[in-house]
Amino acid sequence: MSLTADRPLERHLIDIRRHLHANPELSGEEYETTAAIREWLRQEGVRIADYPLKTGLVAEIGGLLGGPVVALRADIDALPIQEETGLPFASRRPGVMHACGHDFHTAALIGAAVLLKRREAELPGTVRLLFQPAEEKAKGAAQVIESGALEGVAAVFGLHNKPDLPVGTVGIRTGPIMAAADGFAVEVDGKGTHAAVPEAGLDPLVTAAHMLTALQSIVSRNVSSLDSAVVSVTRLSAGTSWNVIPEKAIFDGTIRTFDEGVRAEVRRRFEQVVDGVAAAFGTTARTRWTGGPPPVVNDARWARTAAKAAERAGLAVVEPKPSPAGEDFALYLKEAPGAFVFLGTNGLREWHHPAFDVDEAALPQAAAYLASAALEALAELSGDDAGPDPVAARAEAGTRP
């Protein structure tokens, strides 16, 4: 049986995506979204698994005769952005928008559920479907793990739509594919004084200004030219008046890295620069880290499986550049190996733009890819290969993906 979504299924998935798009909910508040997913799965006869989640849900297909467990994940939350697409199914909620395409991911995973349900009797194991809340706040994956839903999972797969890849392609790479997204907040404590008498105080503004400049040397002087990192200060605030040197300055921002070693070194240097500059100016400073997810790092074995699955679903495999955005799918990969891929959606705008949109022609492809990844992984894990390996066959023929 083919994994391709037929016309009625394609139409159904587009309806689902548009319904979600028109009714977006913020991270941790996905109550209606969860209820809608539950109902769509119920209509297909998919069993809902019992894991304690406030929003989001876990469902399962197969496993009637035991066997390995593989997981497929979609994130379901939206962003605090005012939509400007002008689409007929644009958000009905002011200031809330599916501007990262998680509506697309959710519809794709429901599509995969339908395709897998049709083959349930022949599944050599269980496919666990993770409809994850609160990805945008990097909180949901931890909640799903906490609920126990990753227990027993031998491999986990997920995807993100990718505007700069054409429809019909899947971007797969071994190693890092998305960045660690650390947030920082620094508080500089000085001593306030009259602006005309600076020698009576300790100026937190001059201190912070030197910190901002010195922090920019971390990437150029402490990170190898063969590695990469970003240090961005995005907000700086101090003072209330033109003739008063304030007590405090605060600034915050983000660090992006693709390697745990580089991540640790950049964070170490960050604190050293902040503490050292504060000491030089006689002020004190505190760095607070708001923990974002670690980098998303694909394992070679399961990246190969993902490539095979993509080809079986009729999609072209390309090797994308890693994205400096963060993704809490990284936390699943600490629990079980797996692969996170990009699926081409021909977008005109980047993620989180108020006019962000996806090409819905990619929706049945995303569903087919996810179903195919689960089938491929279950077949490999149960030692029953689903057929000749198109990647290996091509490699033998001397061509490369």
User: Among residues 99 and 155, whose Cβ is nearest to Ni ion?
Assistant: 99
User: Among residues 17 and 312, whose Cβ is nearest to Ni ion?
Assistant: 17
Stretch that binds Ni ion, among 19-27, 99-107, 171-179, 268-276 (CB under 5 A): 99-107
Stretch that binds Ni ion, among 15-23, 79-87, 92-100, 236-244 (CB under 5 A): 92-100
Stretch that binds Ni ion, among 9-17, 20-28, 100-108, 243-251 (CB under 5 A): 100-108
Per rule CB under 5 A, count of chain residues that contact Ni ion: 1
Stretch that binds Ni ion, among 96-104, 199-207, 286-294, 373-381 (CB under 5 A): 96-104
Report the distance separating Cα 295 and Cα 329, nearest Å. 9
- For the beta carbon of residue 170, count every other beta carbon within 10 angstroms: 26
For residue 161, CA distances in Å to 49, 171, 218, 277 come to: 26, 10, 32, 42
> From the list 100, 138, 313, 370, which residue makes contact with Ni ion (rule: CB under 5 A)?
100
Q: Which residues contact 12 (CB under 8 A, 6 or more apart)?
A: 114
Nearest approach, Cβ of 264 to Ni ion (angstroms)?
26
Stretch that binds Ni ion, among 93-101, 226-234, 271-279, 375-383 (CB under 5 A): 93-101
Nearest approach, Cβ of 332 to Ni ion (angstroms)?
15
Nearest approach, Cβ of 106 to Ni ion (angstroms)?
11
User: Among residues 265 and 328, whose Cβ is nearest to Ni ion?
Assistant: 328
User: Among residues 327 and 380, whose Cβ is nearest to Ni ion?
Assistant: 327
Nearest approach, Cβ of 295 to Ni ion (angstroms)?
15
103 membership: H or E segment, kind and range: helix 102-117
Q: Is 79 in the site for Ni ion (CB under 5 A)?
A: no
Report the distance separating Cα 294 and Cα 117, nearest Å. 33
75 contacts 95 by C-beta, under 8 angstroms: no
Structural Rg of the chain based on CA atoms: 24
Nearest approach, Cβ of 183 to Ni ion (angstroms)?
17
Residue nearest to Ni ion (CB): 100
Interacting residues with Ni ion between 292 and 321 (CB under 5 A): none
User: Among residues 100 and 339, whose Cβ is nearest to Ni ion?
Assistant: 100
Nearest approach, Cβ of 194 to Ni ion (angstroms)?
49
- For the beta carbon of residue 135, count every other beta carbon within 10 angstroms: 26
Q: What is the DSSP string of 11-51?
A: HHHHHHHHHHHHS--BTT--HHHHHHHHHHHHHTTPEEP--
Cα 84 to its chain centre, rounded Å, is 23
83 contacts 101 by C-beta, under 8 angstroms: no
Give CA torsion, residues 77, 79, 83, 86, to 10 deg: -30
User: Among residues 63 and 326, whose Cβ is nearest to Ni ion?
Assistant: 326
Nearest approach, Cβ of 325 to Ni ion (angstroms)?
7
- For 397, phi then psi, to 5°, come to -75, 0
User: Among residues 126 and 345, whose Cβ is nearest to Ni ion?
Assistant: 345
**Number of H-type helices and E-type strands within the chain:** 11, 16
Nearest approach, Cβ of 105 to Ni ion (angstroms)?
8
Contact footprint for Ni ion (CB under 5 A): 100
